[in-house]
Amino acid sequence: MITEVSTTRFETSLGWLSIRGTPRGILSVTFGVEEAAPQEQVFPFLEQCMHELEEYFSGNRRAFSVPLVMRGSDFQQRVWDALLEIPFGQTVTYGQLAKEVGHPGAARAVGTAVGDNPLAIIVPCHRVLPASGGIGEYASGSDRKEWLLRHEGVISRSAPV
**125 to 17, 88, 91, 92, 142: CA distances (angstroms):** 16, 11, 9, 10, 12
Active site residue 125: yes
- Catalytic residue among 86, 125, 135, 149, which? 125
Coil/strand/helix, residue 94: helix
Question: 31 phi and psi, to 5 degrees?
Answer: -80, 145
Residue 54: which region, alpha, beta or left (left: phi > 0; alpha: psi -120 to 50)? alpha
Which string of DSSP letters, residue by residue, matches 21-44? EETTEEEEEEES-------S---H
Cβ atoms within 10 Å of 9's Cβ, excluding its own: 14
Residue numbers annotated as active site:
125
